Amino acid sequence: KTIYLKDYRSPDFLIDKTDLHVVLTDDVTCVTATLQVRRNPATENKQAPLVLNGQDMILKDVSIDGCPVQNSQYVLSPETLTINEVPDAFALKTVCEIKPQENTSLEGLYRSRTMYCTQCEAEGFRKITYYLDRPDVLSEFTTTIVADKAQFPVLLSNGNLIDKGELDNGQHFASWHDPFKKPAYLFALVAGDLSVIEDTFVTCSNRTIDLKIFVEEKDLDKCDHAMASLKNAMRWDEEVYGREYDLDIFMIVAVDDFNMGAMENKGLNIFNTSCVLAKPETTTDMGFQRVEGVVAHEYFHNWSGNRVTCRDWFQLSLKEGFTVFRDAEFSADMGSRTVKRVEDVSLLRTLQFAEDAGPMAHPVRPPSFIEISNFYTLTVYEKGAEVVRMIHTLLGAEKFRQGSDLYFERHDGEAATIENFVAAMEDASGRDLSQFTRWYSQAGTPRITAKDSYDEASGIYQLTLTQSCPDTPEATTEEKQPFHIPVAIGLLGDAGNLAIHLQGTEPDHDTPDNTHKVLELTQAEQTFSFEKLPERPIPVLLRGFSAPVKLEFDYSREQLTAIMSRDDDGYSRWDACQKLAVAVIHDAMQAYRSGQPYIVDTLLAEAYRTILNDSSLDQAMVALMLQLPSEAYLSEIADVVDVEAIHFARQDVRKQLAVALEAELLHTYNSLTGKDKPFSTSAEAVAERSLKNIALSYLVHGEASSALALAQQQLQSATNMTDEISALSVLVNSDSEAAPAMAQQALADFFTRWQHEALVVNQWLVAQANCVLPEGLERVKTLMQHEAFDIKNPNKVRSLIGAFCNNNAINFHHADGAGYEFLADQIITLNELNPQIAARQLTPLTKWRKYDESRQALMCKALERILAEPALSKDVYEVVSKSLKGK
Ligand code: ARG
Ligand code: ZN
């Protein structure tokens, strides 16, 4: 059944207070809910029946104001409890039994290893008790948890602890009260044998907040980074957004089995262990950054999500897009702004653009869905964040902040819409964003084509921009209207960035030195004229990736190297480098297809040599630029993905670069190795490690005789996981003769050393799943039988199945179709155990239209086999049926 945004109606009833009494026992968990219900004064239908959501529960008892409701007075369906005649205001009491220990969907109340925990967003609360499980019903929650004291000494819920005590038979209880009204999706409950690290934070108004991170005892040594990140995030939100924390206590709990990254439950955030635990020996730099980003993201939701929540799930990007934008800016302020931007843009252009071009494409605010869990997407999160970033660009930082203040002030304690957010931004800035809102309703990645001309005599330079947007499931290209697109530009001259004089506009976006400008493209085609240009400039377009679009301009390779070496925007230098590398790899692919040898364009090799030799350059920039475009990105920009050509051409280019630059790479590697500096996660230290490891990777894939020994040496002496796993990965992927034996030994040793650290074992699974050597599928199948694998644990599924199917194209897309059959088998298994994870793992098969005919047929066959399964979840059904539509 499809749910439509246009069908939204406000609720017939409100729940002012929610009182939960949860008794946990090994067999059944008994949930008694007492709800203070009243008719919504704003509703038209004063006779409406009370329809509560609920599933997978046994209803034991129901009463209204203390009087039992007879069987004949209510109707139970698999997903609802309907009571036909109810007073205008009453206390509804229900008693339900559930079995969290059998709940493998990891939605609602479930068991993860030794603890009980919850995940209610989006619609998991209805698996805990009968309720109005919708985000526009806000209630004041009181929760009492009863459990065995020895097994579950820690009992947590939202808000403040108001009571606790001992009970008979070794039981104990704790009662929590959350003074802030919230929708049910922000409810959380935890019971377990957990250890805690504690700290405090003093807010801007001098209130002291208790901060607690709960983990299993063995993980106590991995909480410092999350705690430091939390305190940084709390300070940053005060300084940058004027947002102070509201409760007296803020808790984080780490859970091993978790469908997503983390959850912003009021005062009690629940985290996937992978997004909270970190220490140098077990965690890569990427892992550290992820912890910092996710801790901040969930904390920031306290305002953008909790204090102001969403009216309905179509508004999901209201909280997610805004909060991703907030956490991205926070991370940029904590580390390297350029690196953070390049990483985010890279993800967006690779995976979100692919989503936009596929059968699940949807606007940032989807108009309909079958299962909302399928819309926690890169489009809603990452493109949603880009849309907020564009508002920031159009308004400027100051007006944007005023808009955000106004939004929080107007809607505090309410369930809001995207219109509310945009209206606050408009009202605070005086800008008209009506055309801009098309970003929320039109799907697809807009294309901009740029053409330029220069008149030497007058010094006038003209730039013509044309926009269009391809077909997506909900609208054809003809039906789409022009977007309002901020195009940040620079004009590069021989000696650097030139001053920009745009004819006929207010200079309101000028930077002090006048070398940046934000053009506002609002028409299908527009020409911008610049005057007083002493030379023909190279246009640097979409600086900082000012809009989530594909921009085409016919650069010469020399122009690209000029931008790479001379522009003052780090992102643009990286982007120019990517464009040059793409052009080179495309040449190599051409040669590969025609069976000709290919010699790498010296322009790229020499550009790289210059970068490697320039000791004045930011090492993070060097590492970023040396990174060749990924196979996934090369696939995204292709009309038809040529799996073999992309893989072998890219490898060939990498090898030739390694050979040509061997001396420089060795020098770089050696200069960054063996220094006895204490471990740090500073931007500089991270940059050094990333440059060192990319140099090692080139060397191992080149012909340097010492390379394997260097990798092995690094593997053995590494004191942090970044260096250790990088060395392991290059060994595992080396096709030199000596490598397989070394890799086997290294993998075995690694497992022996780390078998008790689940998150490290996951990285070990990833390293093998990503191995591009032949027989990849066999290796993955073998690992599925390994004691380290468990299909019920989402992190393991992502590490082995996910990594293989998404990042190992040459093996997954083997022409025999065995990869597709394998994935279909796993989806069918997961469909029963965990529908959310099943649907998510489907993504690579949904992209079948991008492949050649024979692969298309094999991929569709796999999809059709899934579709024919008798008991498909909504989650899997929606993705499979939409991806086969029109076939
Ligand atoms: N709101 C969470 C976050 O972005 C994501 C939780 C979504 N969970 C889910 N099962 N769909 O931080
Ligand atoms: Zn979020």
pLDDT tens digits, residue range 742-764? 999 999 999 999 999 999 999 99
Closest CA to 340 of 292, 308, 376, 396: 292
Mean pLDDT score, 361-380: 98
263 in contact with ligand 1, CB cutoff 6 A? yes
Q: Where are the alpha helices (DSSP H) in 202-336?
A: 224-241, 285-300, 316-334
When mean pLDDT is compared across 171-180, 261-270, 657-666, 672-681, the lowest value belongs to 672-681
The pLDDT value recorded for residue 640 is 98
Q: Write the pLDDT tens digit of every residue in 834-876.
A: 999 999 999 999 999 999 999 999 999 999 999 999 999 999 9
Q: In this prediction, does ipTM exceed 0.95?
A: yes
Closest CA to 492 of 511, 515, 508, 510: 515
628 in contact with ligand 1, CB cutoff 6 A? no
The pLDDT value recorded for residue 887 is 87
304 in contact with ligand 1, CB cutoff 6 A? no
Q: Measured in angstroms, how far is the CA atom of residue 388 from the centroid of ligand 2?
A: 14
Handedness of CA 24, 27, 32, 33 (dihedral sign): positive
Confidence grade of residue 513 (pLDDT, cut at 50, 70, 90): low
Determine what percent of the chain is predicted with pLDDT higher than 70. Answer: 99
Let me know if 511 is exposed, middle or buried by CB neighbors in 10 A (0-12, 13-18, 19+): exposed
Residue closest via CA to ligand 1's atom 8 equals: 121
In the predicted model, what is the mean pLDDT of the chain? 97
Q: Strand 29-39 and strand 89-98: pairing?
A: antiparallel
329 in contact with ligand 1, CB cutoff 6 A? no
Contact 420, 430 (CB under 8 A): no
Mean pLDDT score, 520-524: 98
Given a cut of 90, whether residue 882 has pLDDT beyond it is yes
Q: Which ligand is nearest to the CA of 119?
A: 1
Beta bridge partners of 32: 21, 95
Given a cut of 80, whether residue 570 has pLDDT beyond it is yes
Closest CA to 659 of 602, 701, 614: 701
Contact 104, 833 (CB under 8 A): yes
Confidence grade of residue 511 (pLDDT, cut at 50, 70, 90): low
3-state SS track over 252-263: EEEECCCCCCEE
Token code pair at residue 771: 């191995």
Q: Annotated catalytic residue: which of 123, 216, 264, 298? A: 298
Measure the CA–CA gap between 802 and 794, rounded to whole angstroms.
10
Taking the CB of residue 474, how many other CB atoms lie within 10 A of it? Answer: 17
Q: Which ligand is nearest to the CA of 260?
A: 1
CA distances from 743 to 144, 513, 567 (A): 53, 54, 42
Given a cut of 60, whether residue 534 has pLDDT beyond it is yes
264 in contact with ligand 1, CB cutoff 6 A? yes
The pLDDT value recorded for residue 726 is 98
| Angle 638-653-348 from CA coordinates, rounded to 5° | 40
Query: Residue holding tokens 């992209």?
Result: 847
Best residue for ligand 1 mutational test, from 117, 119, 260 (most atoms within 8 Å of Cβ): 260
Q: Write the pLDDT tens digit of every residue in 277-308.
A: 999 999 999 999 999 999 999 999 999 999 99
Given a cut of 60, whether residue 822 has pLDDT beyond it is yes
Let me know if 163 is exposed, middle or buried by CB neighbors in 10 A (0-12, 13-18, 19+): exposed
pTM of the model: 0.98
Q: Which ligand is nearest to the CA of 262?
A: 1
The pLDDT value recorded for residue 506 is 60
Query: Residue holding tokens 């010296």?
Result: 602
Taking the CB of residue 688, how many other CB atoms lie within 10 A of it? Answer: 20
323 in contact with ligand 1, CB cutoff 6 A? no
Given a cut of 80, whether residue 509 has pLDDT beyond it is no
Given a cut of 60, whether residue 510 has pLDDT beyond it is no
373 in contact with ligand 1, CB cutoff 6 A? yes
Mean pLDDT score, 31-37: 99
Examine the residue annotation and report whether 298 is marked as an active-site residue of this protein: yes
Residue closest via CA to ligand 1's atom 1 equals: 263
Mean pLDDT score, 197-217: 98
Taking the CB of residue 451, how many other CB atoms lie within 10 A of it? Answer: 14
Mean pLDDT score, 156-178: 98
Closest CA to 685 of 697, 677, 696: 677
Confidence grade of residue 633 (pLDDT, cut at 50, 70, 90): very high
Question: What letter represents residue 724's amino acid?
Answer: E
Residue closest via CA to ligand 1's atom 5 equals: 263
Given a cut of 90, whether residue 505 has pLDDT beyond it is no
Residue closest via CA to ligand 1's atom 3 equals: 263
The pLDDT value recorded for residue 837 is 99
Mean pLDDT score, 499-508: 77
Mean pLDDT score, 150-164: 98
Q: Measured in angstroms, how far is the CA atom of residue 784 from the centroid of ligand 1?
A: 27
Closest CA to 94 of 175, 19, 155: 19
CA distances from 591 to 556, 583, 594, 633, 649 (A): 20, 13, 5, 20, 8
Closest CA to 150 of 182, 192, 188: 192
Residue closest via CA to ligand 1's atom 2 equals: 263
In degrees and rounded to multiples of 5, residue 254 shows phi and psi of -95, 130
Residue closest via CA to ligand 1's atom 9 equals: 121
Q: Write the pLDDT tens digit of every residue in 647-689.
A: 999 999 999 999 999 999 999 999 999 777 899 999 999 999 9
Spell out the residues 6+ positions from residue 35 whose beta carbon is closer than 8 angstroms to its own: 15, 17, 18, 19, 91, 92, 93, 94, 131, 139
298 in contact with ligand 1, CB cutoff 6 A? yes
Q: Write the pLDDT tens digit of every residue in 43-79.
A: 888 999 999 999 999 999 999 999 999 999 999 999 9
Given a cut of 80, whether residue 507 has pLDDT beyond it is no
